[in-house]
Chain A
Amino acid sequence: MSAAIAIRVRVNGVRHERDVEARLLLSDFIRQDLALTGTHVGCEHGVCGACTVLFDGEPVRSCIMLAVQADGHDLQTVEALAGPAGELNPLQSAFRAEHGLQCGFCTPGFLMTLTAFLRDNPAPTDSEIRDALSANLCRCTGYHHIFEAAKRASRSTLP
């Protein structure tokens, strides 16, 4: 059993100090230690993207990172997107309007990926959107409505 390592992380604007094992995955830290279960784990080998969170603003796959790597860093998960009373932000509203989710399990990963993408690419072309989506897997939707949701969101103002 490895010794516990003290880490300090800011998650969704809240500071946390915890002692963790070196081998604790970042996805498990978020879901279990911080009880933020909106981030989901689909493969644990970095392919499906369901575990995507923003790490200092950039999308990362939390299932192939360790919690200790987040020491001193800023994380954003899907729980940070909605307003204080649960109001959907424009990206989330676009997903609802376009039926961009069915079972919803892969959705947090898409939302975080797109949050970063649309922030950096406010006026993307159709094929840029398709490429941006291509690293997240969905088994329910066939991606058609996810694409429409992303396109719709790109046409509205984003925070």
Chain B
Amino acid sequence: MPAAPPYLRARVPRNEDARLLTGRALFVDDVQLPGMLHVAFVRSEHAHGRITSIDASAARLRPGVHAVYTAADLGDYLKPGPILVSPPPIPNLVFHGCTQLPLAKDKVRHVGEPIAMIVADSRYVAEDAIRDVVVEIAPIDAVVDLEKGLAADAPLIHEHLTSNLAAHVIQRKGNYASAKAKADIIVKRRFHYDRGVSAAIENRAVVVDWNPKSEEMTIWDTTQAPIPIRNGLAAMLGLLESQVNVIAPFVGGGFGPKIMMFYPEELLLPWAAMRLNRPLKWTEDRQENFYATTQERGQVHDAEMALTKDGRILGVHDVFLFDTGAYDPYGLTIPINSQCTLIGPYDIPDYESEFTAVFTNKTIVTPVRGAGRQHGVFVSERLLDLAARELGIDRVEIRKRNLIGPDKFPVNHEIMFQDSAPLIYDSGDYLPTLEQAAEIIGYEQFIREEQPRLRAEGRHVGVGVACYVEGTGIGPYEGARVTIEPSGKVRCATGVGTQGQGHFTVFAQLVADVLGVNVVDVKVVTGDTREFHWGTGTFASRGAVVAGSACHAAASNVREKVLNLASVLLNVPPDRLELSGGRVFDTDDPQRGMSLGELSGKANPLRGAVRPGTEPGLESTAYFGPDRGSTASGVHAIIVEVDPETATVEIKRYLVVHDCGTIINPMLVEGQIHGGVAHGIGNAFYEKLVYDEQGQLLNASFMDYLLPTATDVPMIETAHRETPSPYNVVGLKGVGEAGCIPTGAVFAQAVEDALAGSGVEITEIPLSPNRLFELIEAARK
């Protein structure tokens, strides 16, 4: 393409917005079908206990109730859910896979575990019937604390095991003991990171329509992975994959828990629909969401860093506990992410990371935006801050001294990443990013002039700077099919779903650039197995990278076809042809050409023959399967003011300088970063799930679980850098999670800086005004 692609790096308004803004976008709960019945679940009120009896007789007699199912009614269908991610092949890895049943039998292991399913004329009647079901549970003491959970006398959650240990993994690079022996200082602390929910504003929902006459099932599901859901459900129900269609229409936010698959509700509604021969709908309510949708973020780290007196990191040793909740269907993705992200942009010659995953009587843990990356960053960034203070080195300076140089790529860190391949950084240039961040936030000037001046006035202001590296865009693969239709419009279908990332626009931008059409003329379809049924889903910041690259590849193939066919029809050699404005034409004689729509018609002749070795139409399907992920990175900087009397923290400025490779649409990238930062601010200072010692969640509503609002999140400044990934043609890297990864670390650093001299040390996330007040008071004594 001679000219620069018009849509690359362009702030294109989104194709999908008109529908979303006018209330014409279909979300799962909007689906209404004739004869539809409604589902509600009886859920455990105890975190741990033995089910001694379930009496649903009164519920079945209630007018309007069509069926009540318990584990006893499921027969062979009662099976533990699948392990979704197998642990990587790490030597000496211990993993006990214990997954959830669709309805509890014998034992309940977390509050909210489903015990019975009620199908009724309306959700109102179904919820009335919940109270009719009498469940007797003999409570057992709950396991809530990770260390106590591993003690010899802890109640056993999975009784076929000998303890509540779910997994144990050690990863090593080099030899930490030798690093420690050479060190001038060792910094060592315990760090606590606690649970939060993803809190997508749309709760989960499933609608199932089984047509017994055509033997076809259509499922609308708020899932991030419609294709695996289709394949798994078809297998479990004894149907052909082609008999099952899964549609993830517009989904109101994913953030991770919607890629947990084979939730009980996803398994049970199709099964029941085939028995009742009526369409069924289940929509989660917000309180259910706090129990029944997965959560994340509980970890306890005992970590130490060995350094020279010049602040050079010699090694890190981290031992941590990971809270996996009552079951562990998602394997070890999160703690392995923590292990890998700890390294960050730093040259750490010797590293040993050991974790123990612990079962607890709380909601199942699966990735939530960041998926364990924030924990690794929190540990290494906090240890560096503490080392900087002890050695008397500036915090930005100590980071500079440890950055991996730009000539070292690709860097192989030897330990295993979540995609079961060694952790390799493909590309990056860390020093300019750090310098740019320090410059934009005015670090030098702040430390030297502004901070001392404000301190003298009695104001407590602080600055924080934190670095991170994020593996994105991992395989296995995605696919796309691009078709130029006779109208001249282009259809692009891919298997991933969309939960707000703007796929309908960014994929269209990529395709429009390749084919020379207007971006609004590219109609993108996502998340519908009827349209495209090979692929995995949106997770781990991979949508644009993997599915986008597949769209680009498919469009490039179509471009080839256009050139070949046009060359024959126009009698012009292909290298003189150009695609622009929806036409293909001779660059020497632009009048000589035709519209792509016309060409598409000619490619599908009603008479004559399609020549051997060619296909009719202008269509191509392509797949993209990277060997490994591409490495994004960035630096966050923050300025805060703390009021030590009330322990409130005001964020004065928040800056993100990041590198996500080639940017398709800067407006959308900013949106992803803003959203991630807001989520990170929530996790840092407002959001905390409070469980009591018997595993009861005490704040299962937005009244008591505080999401940041428009007055809590500052205006976020962003700057982009690009080091294109060598692993895909466009050079893309992911950005979906970047905003929330170092937020806790940078927040803690800045608050500590604001309170410098008070003795307050922040080794836990989330804080809150209350908790910060406690820390300030404790330090006073």
Contact = CB atoms under 8 A, between A and B. Distances in A.
A69 interface: no
B302 interface: no
B23 A39 contact: yes
A108 B23 contact: yes
A143 B678 contact: yes
A139 B702 CA distance: 13
B678 A142 contact: yes
Interface in A14-69: 21, 23-24, 31-32, 35-45, 47-48, 50
Contacts of B252: 40, 42, 103-106
Interface string A95-113: 1110101111111100100
B701 A135 contact: no
Contact of A36 (B18, B23, B63, B202): B23
Interface in B705-732: 707, 709-711, 713, 715-716
Given A104-B500, A140-B500, A143-B713, A77 B23 contact: yes
Nearest to B677: A142
B162 interface: no
B13 A97 contact: yes
Contacts of B675: 102, 139-142
A21 B711 CA distance: 39
Given A141-B674, A145-B674, A45 B702 contact: yes
A105 B23 contact: no
Given A40-B27, A95-B17, A142-B716, A45 B22 contact: no
Interface string A112-144: 000000000000000000110111111111111
A134 B710 CA distance: 5
Given A35-B32, A137-B709, A102 B671 contact: yes
B536 interface: no
Contacts of A48: 201, 286, 702
Contact of A42 (B286, B501, B710): B286
B569 interface: no
B23 A145 contact: no
B22 A137 contact: no
A154 interface: no
B169 interface: no
Interface string B440-480: 00000000000000000000000000000000000000000
Contacts of A142: 671, 673-679, 713, 716, 739
B487 to A, nearest CB: 20
B147 interface: no
Contacts of A140: 253, 500, 671, 675
B250 A137 contact: no
Given A42-B202, A106-B201, A141-B674, A96 B13 contact: yes
A133 B710 contact: yes
B761 interface: no
Which among A36, A111, A139 has the greatest number of chain B C-beta atoms within 10 A? A139
B249 to A, nearest CB: 11
B253 A139 contact: yes
A81 interface: yes
B20 A104 contact: yes
Given A104-B21, A139-B255, A42 B201 contact: yes
B289 to A, nearest CB: 9
Contacts of A44: 285-286
Contact of B702 (A40, A43, A96): A43
A86 B677 CA distance: 34
Interface in A138-157: 138-147
Given A38-B24, A43-B702, A139-B675, A147 B13 contact: no
A38 B285 contact: no
Which among A47, A48, A136 has the greatest number of chain B C-beta atoms within 10 A? A47
Given A101-B17, A140-B675, A38 B23 contact: yes
A130 B714 CA distance: 10
A1 interface: yes
Contacts of B23: 36-39, 77-79, 108
Contacts of B285: 44
A82 interface: yes
B124 A23 contact: yes
Contacts of A138: 201, 710
B636 to A, nearest CB: 13
A66 to B, nearest CB: 12
Contacts of A158: none
Contact of B22 (A24, A38, A99, A146): A38
A144 B582 CA distance: 35
Contacts of A1: 63-64
Contacts of A135: 709
B435 interface: no
A103 B30 contact: no
B206 interface: no
Contacts of A77: 23
A96 B253 contact: no
Which among B252, B499, B668, B713 has the greatest number of chain A C-beta atoms within 10 A? B252
A47 B285 CA distance: 13
Interface string B501-544: 11000000000000000000000000000000000000000000
Contacts of B716: 142, 144
B703 A103 contact: no
Contacts of B670: 99, 144-145
Interface string B646-681: 000000000000000000000110110111111100
A138 to B, nearest CB: 7
A41 B203 CA distance: 9
Given A47-B701, A86-B22, A105-B253, A99 B713 contact: no
A112 B478 CA distance: 38
A147 B670 CA distance: 14
Nearest to A137: B707
A42 B25 CA distance: 16
A48 B285 CA distance: 13
A11 B176 CA distance: 69
A30 to B, nearest CB: 11
B602 interface: no
A82 B27 CA distance: 19
Nearest to A41: B29
B39 interface: no
A47 B14 contact: no
Contact of A103 (B203, B250, B676): B250
A141 B671 contact: yes
Given A37-B30, A96-B14, A99-B671, A43 B701 contact: yes
A88 interface: yes
B703 A47 contact: yes
A79 B22 CA distance: 6
A139 B707 contact: yes
Contacts of B14: 96, 99
B142 interface: no
Which among B21, B668, B677, B709 has the greatest number of chain A C-beta atoms within 10 A? B21
Nearest to B716: A144
Nearest to B678: A142
Nearest to A35: B32
7 contacts: A1-B64, A40-B27, A48-B286, A82-B21, A102-B501, A103-B251, A133-B709
Interface of B: 13-14, 16-18, 20-27, 29-30, 32, 63-64, 124, 198-203, 250-253, 255, 285-286, 499-502, 667-668, 670-671, 673-679, 701-703, 707, 709-711, 713, 715-716, 739
Given A105-B200, A108-B23, 17 more contacts: A35-B32, A39-B23, A40-B201, A40-B252, A42-B201, A43-B701, A45-B286, A77-B23, A79-B23, A82-B22, A105-B201, A130-B711, A133-B711, A134-B710, A139-B198, A143-B713, A144-B713
Interface of A: 1, 21, 23-24, 31-32, 35-45, 47-48, 50, 77-79, 81-82, 86, 88, 92, 95-97, 99, 101-108, 111, 130-131, 133-147
The 7 closest A-B pairs by CB, nearest first: A38-B23, A105-B252, A103-B500, A104-B20, A142-B674, A142-B678, A102-B500
